């Protein structure tokens, strides 16, 4: 399996150390031993601390679905598989899927200029295409670089559009480089909204969440609801104590990070990525195709997904949340970790857990 070398080494060392396995002999475990090892790997999230939810899917079945720690420290609400977490940048795969659904409908083309749908943008952005936004090669000045340091009020998608439209330069010529852009995915959400004639939250609900019976997944909008059931709140460790840090000034934008979901709904999402119930063959090839090489020579970027050897994956980080989904499509294994703290990177941990379930 070809994945980023440092992460794979960390994952393998962690798995073997916790399991007490001789690396030369190789792991031989019963299901009970394996499950105990997984709990050991997840022990940092257990107890009286902000927690996590873990999903492992093998051959279409959820072989592990567990909650650890607390979703709400103040109310001592335990995390369960039904707990809903802010996905942060894991949202981007749903925004990309929304755009591809509209392309399937014949309502847009990936090589359309984004100014066709967002004429507020300056003429200097005319060369930027929807495809450029999907794989982060637009060169747009990102809104996070434009938010005033003393800002306290949350910004929304229209604020992002106005900030980007006020710029008359780019980081680089569109298509000539890669720079991860949250602003680009906010614009993709606005394009989907304008092309469909529906609010982005309503479009995703009608075209993705409802058809897949992702009944507890929603694009959260603090000004209009609906409210989030079984909600996990984000935390940071400050002075040795857990402090709620659930929202920041950029927590109200949508296409780049606004979805809340739980691991049971992710099982339904994962299943839909193997067949044509949502996206057709051509769209799924685009979603998981290698469109742009990254600085890591082992990783390329698709449309809202990173591609590393046999895996497709994406992480998500925002104030108080750290998440990851890793899929091994050829071996029909997926691992999802959703957590409500801004400590620990779950990607190498998810790799270590996934390795336990791969065919050998």
Q: Which residue has the higher pLDDT, 31 or 45?
A: 45
Q: Is the pLDDT confidence value at 278 over 60?
A: yes
pLDDT tens for residues 258-272?
A: 999 999 999 999 999
pLDDT tens for residues 54-97?
A: 999 999 999 999 999 999 999 999 999 999 999 999 999 999 99
**How does residue 20 score in pLDDT terms, banded at 50, 70 and 90?**
very low
SS3 38: helix
40-48: long-range pairs with CB below 8 Å, 24+:
41/14, 41/15, 41/349, 41/352, 41/353, 42/66, 42/68, 42/349, 44/344, 45/69, 45/79, 45/339
pLDDT of residue 14: 53
pLDDT of residue 27: 55
The pTM score is 0.92
Which H/E stretch holds residue 52? strand 52-58
- Strand-pairing partners, residue 315, are 324
Q: Averaged over 312-322, what is the pLDDT? A: 96
**How does residue 310 score in pLDDT terms, banded at 50, 70 and 90?**
very high
- Strand-pairing partners, residue 86, are 260
pLDDT tens for residues 322-340?
A: 999 999 999 999 999 999 9
Torsion of CA 48, 321, 347, 52, to 10 degrees: 30
pLDDT of residue 216: 97
What is the dotted CATH code of the domain comprising 5-355?
A: 3.40.710.10
5-19 and 346-355 are packed helices; what angle lies between their axes, rounded to 10 degrees?
Answer: 60
The torsion angles phi and psi of 59, rounded to 5 degrees, stand at 55, 45
**How does residue 226 score in pLDDT terms, banded at 50, 70 and 90?**
confident
């Amino acid at each position: 399996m070809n994945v980023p070398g440092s992460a794979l080494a960390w994952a393998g060392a962690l798995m073997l150390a916790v399991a007490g396995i001789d690396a030369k002999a190789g792991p031989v475990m019963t299901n009970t031993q394996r499950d105990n090892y997984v709990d050991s790997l997840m022990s940092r999230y257990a107890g009286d601390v902000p927690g996590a939810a873990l999903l492992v899917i093998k051959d279409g079945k959820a072989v592990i679905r567990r909650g650890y720690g607390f979703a709400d420290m103040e109310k001592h609400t335990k995390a369960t598989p039904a707990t809903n977490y802010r996905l942060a940048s894991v949202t981007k795969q749903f925004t990309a899927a929304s755009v591809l659904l509209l392309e399937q409908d014949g309502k847009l083309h990936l090589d359309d200029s984004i100014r066709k749908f967002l004429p507020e943008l300056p003429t200097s952005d005319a060369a930027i295409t929807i495809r450029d936004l999907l794989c982060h090669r637009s060169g747009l000045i990102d809104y996070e670089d434009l938010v005033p340091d003393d800002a306290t009020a949350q910004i929304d998608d229209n604020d992002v559009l106005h900030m980007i439209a006020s710029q008359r330069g780019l980081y680089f010529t569109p298509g000539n480089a890669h720079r991860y852009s949250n602003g680009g995915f906010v614009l993709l959400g606005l394009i989907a909204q304008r092309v469909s004639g529906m609010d982005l939250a309503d479009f995703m609900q009608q075209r993705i969440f409802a058809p897949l019976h992702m009944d507890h997944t929603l694009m959260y909008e603090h000004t209009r609801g609906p409210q989030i059931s079984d909600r996990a709140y984000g935390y940071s460790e400050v002075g040795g104590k857990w402090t709620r840090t659930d929202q920041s000034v950029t927590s109200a934008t949508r296409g780049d990070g606004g979805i809340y979901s739980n691991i049971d709904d992710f099982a339904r999402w994962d299943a839909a990525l193997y067949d044509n119930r949502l996206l057709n063959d051509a769209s799924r090839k685009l979603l998981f195709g290698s469109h742009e090489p990254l600085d890591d020579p082992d990783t390329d970027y698709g449309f809202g997904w990173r591609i590393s050897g046999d895996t497709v994956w994406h992480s998500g980080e925002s104030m108080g949340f750290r998440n990851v989904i890793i899929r091994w499509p050829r071996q029909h294994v997926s691992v999802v970790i959703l957590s409500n703290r801004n400590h620990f990177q779950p990607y190498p941990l998810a790799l270590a857990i996934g390795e336990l379930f791969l065919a050998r």
